[in-house]
Structure 1
Amino acid sequence: MIVLDTNVVSEAMKPRPTPAVMAWLDEQDQPSVFICAPVLAELRFGVERLAEGRRKEALSTVINTIESAFGERILPFDRSATRFYAQVAAKREKAGRRLEQMDGLIAAIALAHGAIVATRDIDGFSGLGLELINPFDLRGK
């Protein structure tokens, strides 16, 4: 199981996405690729910040399409994830390292499901006990 971070999903939404990311996504077994509720929240927040107009409408449509396409493969932040969130947030705090709230939520959901996180932000998720993959940089893989 792979959970896509927001930066991977938003890359795929671009008019001219990075070819390596799209190739990596195409290689994946689609039923094993998931997103989670915080990713949808971040995408929707990004769109809500835009001025009214065609771009905002187009991106809203794309997000609705993504939501429909993933359907049951959208993981919620549930009771199990709350335990993992507490652990990773405390671990980072004790280490004196900042943990972005959404990264913590995504990490907790992935840990609760034993999933790999696909992200460009390796540093943001490092040291949390997750297996990580960077589809933007797959040298040697």
Structure 2
Amino acid sequence: MTGFLLDTNAVSMFSPSKAGTSSAFAGWVEEQEKLETIYLSAVTIHEIEKGIRLLEGRGATSKATLIELFLQGLIAGYGDRILPFDAETALESGRLEARVISAGHSPGMADAMIAGTASLRGLTIITHNLKHFLPFGVAVKSPDELLL
């Protein structure tokens, strides 16, 4: 498999609750979607769902509803390009996270799970948080680097 795994922060750039993303990055994503080279992790679905429920808990129901519709669209649109977090991915993520922690970093489980998903499938992570993913030794680029 070759392609790109969008980190949650890259996906959220398209959320209705955000000011938007650069037209150049949006165009790049659109082209890659036509080629079916963009993937999402089930972990990203989890993180967005968690955010929706936290918004609801704070009483921001209108915003939560907009993001929930956005999430439903992601799930429908990406379908089988939403990569599962299965046992093989869990093993890879655990190995990566242990190595990074032993080197003195604190990556957080969600980032380790996304890194493991990308590593196992040979995907490049697209993220604004390069510093979170570089220690894993996986291929990673910022949205800005894609446009050079």
TM-score by length of 2: 0.87
4+ aligned runs moved over 6 Å, structure 1: none
Describe the shift of the 1:18–1:87 C-alpha distance in structure 2 as closer, same or farther (beyond 3 A). same
Taking the aligned partners of 2:78 and 2:33, their CA distance within structure 1 comes to 13
Letter in 1 for 2:15: M
TM-score by length of 1: 0.91
Taking the aligned partners of 1:133 and 1:28, their CA distance within structure 2 comes to 15
| Cα shift readout 1:37-66 (whole Å, capped 9, x = no counterpart) | 000000111111112522211111110111
Q: Which moved more, 1:57-66 or 1:80-89?
A: 80-89
Q: Does 1:128 align with 2:133?
A: no
| Cα shift readout 1:8-37 (whole Å, capped 9, x = no counterpart) | 100011453121431331232441100010
Q: How does 1:1-141 map to 2 (within 5 A)?
A: 1-14=3-16, 16-19=19-22, 20-30=24-34, 31-50=36-55, 51-135=59-143, 137-138=144-145, 141=148
Q: Which moved more, 1:99-108 or 1:6-15?
A: 6-15
The unaligned stretches of length 5 or more in structure 1 are none
Contact 1:12 1:21 in 2 (8 A): no
The unaligned stretches of length 5 or more in structure 2 are none
Give, in angstroms, the shift of residue 140 of structure 1.
Answer: 7.3
Describe the shift of the 1:104–1:139 C-alpha distance in structure 2 as closer, same or farther (beyond 3 A). closer
Task: Describe the SS at the equivalent of 1:127.
Answer: helix
Contact 2:39 2:81 in 1 (8 A): yes
Task: Describe the SS at the equivalent of 1:28.
Answer: helix
RMSD in angstroms over aligned alpha carbons?
Answer: 1.7
Q: Percent identity?
A: 25
Give, in angstroms, the shift of residue 138 of structure 1.
Answer: 2.5
Contact 1:8 1:21 in 2 (8 A): no
Q: May I ask how many residue pairs the two structures share in their alignment?
A: 140
